[in-house]
């Protein structure tokens, strides 16, 4: 199963980039994995309108969603899992025979309604709000942890 994590906007911080690179490298040992950062949305006129930003982000996302079997939006209002339940849910996606599953980290205003409508699920990494930069290594680490749990590897300690 091809897995992709898409993050809207670029990462500026070197230490966050290092965390991303670390877990992307680890995830590639478990199959086809891709991490995509999209360009930042820039308004030509001062402070951008929230709806305009979400619409522009939706246009960018739609270019990456061709051929996607299952789309999961990472959103604080989504369903929460502990690490074991998260790994079991990923296993269920694999057993279903899906070819390509995509998780998306939204921009600062959330997701445009047309992306929300297209999504198969919304998952939360917890009730706290995290910056769109910080959530990237957190999400990657949880995907990695889920795969180590599924393989019975010693990374996860109960």
Q: Is the pTM of this model over 0.75?
A: yes
Question: Would strands 70-80 and 100-105 be described as parallel, antiparallel, or unpaired?
Answer: parallel
pLDDT the model gives residue 88:
96
Whether 73 and 111 have beta carbons less than 8 Å apart is answered as yes
Q: Which of 118, 106, 134, 114 is nearest to 68 (CA)?
A: 118
Q: What is the pLDDT along the chain (158 residues), one digit of tens a residue?
A: 999 999 998 888 999 999 999 999 999 999 999 999 998 887 666 777 889 999 999 999 999 998 889 999 998 889 999 999 999 999 999 999 899 999 999 888 899 999 999 999 999 988 888 888 899 999 999 999 999 999 999 987 76
| 108 φψ region: left (φ > 0), alpha (ψ -120 to 50), beta (else) | alpha
Distance CA 122, CA 115 (A): 11
Domain spanning 2-150, CATH class: alpha beta
Neighbours of 23 (CB within 10 A): 22
Distance CA 19, CA 133 (A): 11
């Amino acid at each position: 199963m091809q897995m992709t994590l898409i993050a809207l906007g670029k990462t500026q911080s070197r230490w966050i980039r290092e965390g991303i690179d670390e877990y992307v490298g680890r995830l590639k040992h478990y199959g086809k994995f891709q991490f995509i950062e999209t360009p930042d949305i820039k308004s030509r006129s001062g402070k951008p309108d929230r709806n305009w930003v979400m619409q522009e982000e939706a246009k960018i996302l739609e270019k990456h969603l061709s051929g996607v079997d299952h789309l999961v939006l990472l959103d604080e209002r989504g369903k929460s899992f502990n690490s074991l339940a998260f790994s079991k849910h990923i296993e269920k996606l694999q057993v279903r025979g899906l070819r390509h599953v995509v998780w998306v980290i939204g921009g600062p205003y959330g997701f445009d309604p047309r992306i929300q409508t297209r999504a198969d699920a919304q998952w939360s990494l917890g009730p706290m709000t995290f910056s769109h930069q910080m959530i990237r290594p957190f999400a990657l680490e949880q995907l990695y942890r889920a795969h180590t749990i599924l393989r019975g590897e010693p990374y996860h300690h109960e």
